[in-house]
C-alpha cells in the first residue's frame, strides 16, 4: 500500500498570528514552500514547529542593504553568505541589495554579474536593485526597459558622491523611462554642491575629526535635494522613494510633495531613530563606527521621525546595512588618522534592524504591531514589486515567518551578531523581544540561535513593474 503524503510539509502550531493590530491563536500550514492554511487546529503534517503561544509575524523584508560591493576602494565585510546569514538570524527572510555599476560599465552586465555572485551563496531569497550611474542612450533606450521587464523594476540613483552622482538632466531622463515602464526609483538625496563647499571650508581649517562629518552635511543638504527630486517626479510622473530620510526637514519636504499629489515615499533606518550626532564626537577609530550618510542628527530629528512613523508618513524601515571592518581595506583604509572625508560611510544593521524596532518602537508604544509589520516587511514587499509573494501571512504567499519571544532580553555585543563586520554602533543597547525561529519558504533556517539552513538555498525573486504610464 502506497502511503498518502501529508497535507502539509510544516505546521507552525499554536502561534499568536498577527492580523492587523489584533492577534489570533492559530496554526499555519505550509506546503511546497507556500502558506496553504491558517486555522485553529491543523493536522496531517510532516513537521511541527511549536510556537507555544508566541507571536508569529511575516519574515522581514530588508529592501536597502549592501553586500559584496566595492566602495571607493573600501571592501564590504559581508558577501551573500555572511550577509544573508546575519539577516536570517534577525528574522529577515528577503533582502534587496544593490548591483553597483561604474559609469563606464553596462548596467545590464553589472546586474547579471551581481546575481551570479548571489547564486550558491544566499541563505534567504533576494531581489536586486540596479544602480544607475550614467544616462547613456544605451542605458535609457535598451538596458533599463529590458531590466524592468525582466524583474529588476526597482532602481537606485545618487545625487552625491563623485563616482555615483547624476546631474539633473540625467535624473530627468531616467525618471521619464521609469514612469513609462513602471519602475520605482530609489534616490539617495543630498545636495553635492553644498557638501563640497562645506567640506572644503572645514578641511581648510583643520577640522577633520569624525564629528565634522555632520557639519559638512547639515539637514538642508537633504531637504534641498528632496525638494528637487520631488519636483522632477511631479514633472515626469515617476514614482520615487527617498531612502534613509534622516531629518525633520527632510521628512517635511516629502510630505509637502505628497500633499500636492506627487508619488513619493520615505524610508528611514535604525541609526536615525536611535543614534545622534553626539555619537560622532569620539576619537577617530571609535567615531568612524558612527559615520554614515546622511549623518546622524539630533534628538529633535529622532522625535520627528518617530512621530512620522506613527502617523504613517514613513513607508519603509530598512537597515542600509553597509558593513566595513575597522581593519584592512574597510572603514579606515587610509589609516587610523583618517580625515572624516576619508572614512568609508556606513554601518552594519541587517540583524538588529527588526529587533531594534520591535523593542524601541512596538514594545515601547511608539508604533502598533500592525505598523511594525508594515514598516519592516509588508510595505517594502509592495513598493518593490515582490508582494504578495513576500511580506505577509496570507494564503498563497511564501511561507516566510518569524516566531518572536516578546520577553527575551538581549544586550547587544559584536559577538551576538553573525555579520562579518566585527563591531556594531548599537553595542550596549538592551533589546527586549527577539525572533527565536526563522522560517523561509517553509524551511526552518534558524532556531534558537542554531543555523539550520544552508548557503545557496536562497532564490532570486523578480521585482514586478507597476502599470506603465
Chain centre distance of CA 137? 30
CB atoms within 10 A of CB 163: 11
User: How far is Cα 154 from Cα 98, in angstroms, rounded to an integer?
Assistant: 10
Q: For residue 195, give the CATH number of its domain.
A: 3.20.20.140
- Is residue 466 domain-resident? no
Would strands 74-75 and 70-71 be described as parallel, antiparallel, or unpaired? antiparallel
User: How far is Cα 175 from Cα 232, in angstroms, rounded to an integer?
Assistant: 8
How many domains does the chain contain in total?
1
- Is residue 389 domain-resident? no
- Is residue 234 domain-resident? yes
- Is residue 450 domain-resident? no
CB atoms within 10 A of CB 155: 27
User: How far is Cα 402 from Cα 173, in angstroms, rounded to an integer?
Assistant: 41
- Is residue 469 domain-resident? no
pLDDT in tens, 136-163: 999 999 999 999 999 999 999 999 999 8
pLDDT at position 359 is 99
pLDDT at position 74 is 84
Beta-ladder partners of 15: 26
- Is residue 20 domain-resident? no
**Does residue 469 have a pLDDT over 60?**
no
User: How far is Cα 365 from Cα 127, in angstroms, rounded to an integer?
Assistant: 32
- Is residue 378 domain-resident? yes
CB atoms within 10 A of CB 218: 17
Please give the backbone phi and psi of residue 347, each rounded to the nearest 5 degrees, phi first: -145, 155
Residue 313 DSSP label? -
User: How far is Cα 238 from Cα 47, in angstroms, rounded to an integer?
Assistant: 46
User: How far is Cα 14 from Cα 17, in angstroms, rounded to an integer?
Assistant: 9
> Is residue 250 within 8 Å of residue 226, measured between CB atoms?
yes
pLDDT in tens, 417-467: 999 999 999 999 999 999 999 999 999 999 999 999 999 999 999 999 987
Beta-ladder partners of 188: 158
User: How far is Cα 201 from Cα 219, in angstroms, rounded to an integer?
Assistant: 17
pLDDT in tens, 163-176: 899 999 999 999 99
Of 268-282, 329-343, 345-359, 421-435, the least confident: 329-343
Intra-chain end-to-end CA distance of the chain, in Å: 58
pLDDT at position 1 is 46
Q: What cell numbers appear for 351 in the block? A: 540583524
Q: What cell numbers appear for 8 in the block? A: 502539509
Residue 362 DSSP label? I
Structural domain containing residue 300: 60-383
Q: Which residues of 309-338 are buried (b: 16+ CB within 10 A; e: fewer)?
A: beeebbbbbbbbbbbbbbeeebbbbeeeeb
Beta strands in 301-388 (DSSP E): 316-317
pLDDT at position 328 is 85
pLDDT in tens, 376-407: 999 999 999 999 999 999 999 999 999 999 99
Closest Cα partner for 232 from 194, 263, 255, 259? Answer: 263
pLDDT tier, 468 (very low <50, low <70, confident <90, very high otherwise) = low
Average pLDDT over residues 319-331: 93
pLDDT at position 104 is 78
- Is residue 356 domain-resident? yes
Amino acid at each position: 500500500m502506497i502511503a498518502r503524503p501529508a497535507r502539509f510539509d510544516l505546521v507552525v502550531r499554536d502561534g499568536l498570528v498577527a492580523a492587523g493590530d489584533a492577534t489570533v491563536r492559530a496554526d499555519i500550514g505550509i506546503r511546497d514552500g507556500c502558506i496553504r492554511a491558517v486555522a485553529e487546529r491543523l493536522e496531517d503534517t510532516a513537521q511541527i514547529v511549536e510556537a507555544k503561544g508566541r507571536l508569529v509575524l511575516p519574515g522581514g523584508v530588508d529592501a536597502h542593504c549592501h553586500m559584496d560591493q566595492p566602495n571607493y576602494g573600501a571592501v564590504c565585510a559581508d558577501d551573500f553568505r555572511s550577509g544573508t546569514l546575519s539577516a536570517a538570524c534577525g528574522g529577515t527572510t528577503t533582502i534587496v541589495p544593490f548591483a553597483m555599476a561604474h559609469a563606464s560599465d553596462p548596467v545590464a552586465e553589472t546586474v547579471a554579474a551581481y546575481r551570479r555572485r548571489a547564486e550558491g551563496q544566499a541563505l534567504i531569497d533576494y531581489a536586486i536593485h540596479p544602480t544607475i550611474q550614467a544616462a547613456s542612450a544605451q542605458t535609457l533606450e535598451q538596458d533599463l526597459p529590458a531590466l524592468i521587464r525582466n524583474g529588476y523594476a526597482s532602481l537606485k540613483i545618487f545625487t552625491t558622491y563623485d563616482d555615483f552622482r547624476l546631474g539633473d538632466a540625467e535624473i530627468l531622463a531616467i525618471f521619464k523611462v521609469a514612469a513609462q515602464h513602471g519602475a520605482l526609483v530609489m534616490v539617495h538625496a543630498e545636495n553635492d554642491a553644498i557638501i563640497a563647499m562645506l567640506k572644503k571650508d572645514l578641511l581648510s581649517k583643520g577640522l577633520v575629526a569624525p564629528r565634522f562629518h555632520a557639519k559638512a552635511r547639515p539637514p538642508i543638504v537633504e531637504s534641498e535635494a528632496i525638494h528637487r527630486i520631488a519636483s522632477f517626479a511631479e514633472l515626469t510622473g515617476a514614482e520615487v522613494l527617498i531612502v534613509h530620510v534622516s531629518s525633520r526637514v527632510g521628512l517635511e519636504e516629502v510630505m509637502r510633495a505628497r500633499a500636492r499629489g506627487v508619488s513619493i515615499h520615505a524610508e528611514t533606518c535604525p541609526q536615525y531613530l536611535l543614534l545622534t550626532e553626539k555619537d560622532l564626537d569620539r576619537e577617530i577609530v571609535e567615531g568612524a563606527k558612527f559615520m554614515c550618510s546622511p549623518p546622524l542628527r539630533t534628538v529633535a530629528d529622532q522625535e520627528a521621525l518617530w512621530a512620522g512613523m506613527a502617523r504613517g508618513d514613513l513607508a519603509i524601515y530598512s537597515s542600509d546595512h553597509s558593513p566595513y571592518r575597522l581593519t584592512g581595506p574597510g572603514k579606515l583604509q587610509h589609516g587610523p588618522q583618517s580625515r572624516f572625508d576619508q572614512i568609508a560611510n556606513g554601518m552594519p544593521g541587517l540583524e538588529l534592524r527588526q529587533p531594534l524596532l520591535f523593542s524601541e518602537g512596538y514594545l515601547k508604544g511608539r508604533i502598533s504591531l500592525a505598523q511594525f509589520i508594515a514598516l519592516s516587511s509588508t510595505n517594502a514587499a509592495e513598493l518593490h514589486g515582490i508582494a504578495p509573494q513576500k511580506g505577509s501571512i496570507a494564503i498563497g504567499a511564501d511561507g516566510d515567518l518569524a516566531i518572536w519571544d516578546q520577553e527575551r532580553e538581549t544586550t547587544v555585543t559584536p559577538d551576538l551578531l553573525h555579520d562579518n563586520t566585527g563591531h556594531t554602533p548599537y553595542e550596549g543597547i538592551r533589546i527586549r523581544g527577539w525572533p527565536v525561529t526563522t522560517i523561509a519558504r517553509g524551511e526552518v533556517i534558524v532556531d534558537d540561535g542554531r543555523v539550520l539552513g544552508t548557503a545557496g538555498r536562497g532564490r532570486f525573486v523578480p521585482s514586478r513593474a507597476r502599470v506603465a504610464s
